[in-house]
Amino acid sequence: MQIQLAKGLPAASFAGVYHLHRRTKYPEFMTNALKTTFLLALITGLFLAVGSVLGGQRGMVFAFVLAVVLNFTSYFFSDKIALTMSRAQPVTREQLPRLYAIVERLCGKANLPMPKLYVTPDDSPNAFATGRNPQHASVAVTRGILDLLNDDEMEGVLAHELGHVRNRDILISSVAATLAGAITMLARMAYWAELFGGFGGGGGDSRDRRGGAISALAMLILAPIAAVMIQLAISRSREYGADATGAHLTGNPYALASALAKLDAYSKRIPMAASPSTAHLWIVQPRLDWASLFSTHPPIPKRIERLTNQPADLYINR
């Protein structure tokens, strides 16, 4: 498989990305703040509802405390959790001058503060951005992507990640990861609480106990699926928006299209060991066994076509 950058293509094809950027920039900025608020409220509501059902008033108090802790953690520390789970290590300008030069140039164009830069030890090529706002943003790249992409393609990928920062969707993606974990934790709480009679203990005959165990077991199975579906709903639109913002920032959608084609091809050859709860953060979705059935990213050919207004085959020759 050969990957080629489509040079010399008509400038008119850039119009699609320009109009997509104009269409997504301001709605993304506004709706992401609303989505973040909604997700934080949803975490609280879910915990209160389950706490009330399982433990009455005492259960609600216990659930409220947990919700406050989760909301605080998801807002202030979700980026550190994502970086730790990805085994990312900070890098200095002396260690990676190429990476710093590209990011500094792009931040100057986008009028963004310089994010913290990290590298993960993965050979599979990929990258992600995280943080609660542009002033507390971090960008991480894998060791594999540094070896794979040329400077134009690397600029396209980093512009995409800074597009997430500029669109203010790095917080919502981090909160979504926390919400996914919260739903799974709620399911486990419900399972054990119903098995042993709720937070209040005791109560119910064996028939009620069996019925509760069956419903709790169903929740235990379905909750992770619901968590992945939440991530799916959030991630697909944000990837298109970051593609458009990044391409508009560099003025070269073809470089990002070429990079996406390379990343897709090489990620199939070298699968990434990533957590399902952070899969939606990466620019190309890691291959995650059963979790890959619930794609959190649009198909790469669709992203390339929306970037360039041209068939993806121009960038991927089979």
Looking at residue 315, what is its pLDDT?
A: 76
Amino acid at 43: I
Looking at residue 302, what is its pLDDT?
A: 93
Distance, in Å, from the CA atom of 78 to the CA atom of 263, rounded to the nearest integer, reads 26
Distance, in Å, from the CA atom of 100 to the CA atom of 106, rounded to the nearest integer, reads 10
**99 in Cβ contact with 91 (< 8 Å):** yes
**Annotated binding residues for Zn(2+):** 160, 164, 239
Looking at residue 235, what is its pLDDT?
A: 62
Burial annotation 283-297 (CB, 10 A radius, 16+ → b, else e):
bbbbbbeebeebebb
Active-site annotation holds for 161: yes
Looking at residue 6, what is its pLDDT?
A: 42
**Annotated binding residues:** 160, 164, 239
Q: What residues make up the domain containing 258?
A: 2-317
Looking at residue 53, what is its pLDDT?
A: 73
Looking at residue 143, what is its pLDDT?
A: 96
pLDDT tens-digit profile, the chain (318 residues): 444 444 444 444 444 454 455 444 445 556 666 777 777 777 778 778 777 776 778 878 887 888 788 778 777 887 888 899 899 999 999 999 999 999 999 999 999 999 999 999 999 999 999 988 899 999 999 999 999 999 999 999 999 999 999 988 877 776 776 666 666 666 666 666 666 655 444 444 554 444 455 555 656 665 666 666 566 656 677 899 899 999 999 999 999 999 999 999 998 899 887 777 777 789 998 875 544 445 678 889 999 999 998 887 777 764
Number of domains in the chain: 1
**54 in Cβ contact with 193 (< 8 Å):** yes
For the chain, where are the alpha helices, taking DSSP H only?
14-76, 78-85, 97-110, 143-148, 151-166, 170-195, 206-250, 253-269, 300-308
What pTM was computed for the model? Answer: 0.76
Q: Indicate which residue of 28, 153, 155, 161 is catalytic.
A: 161
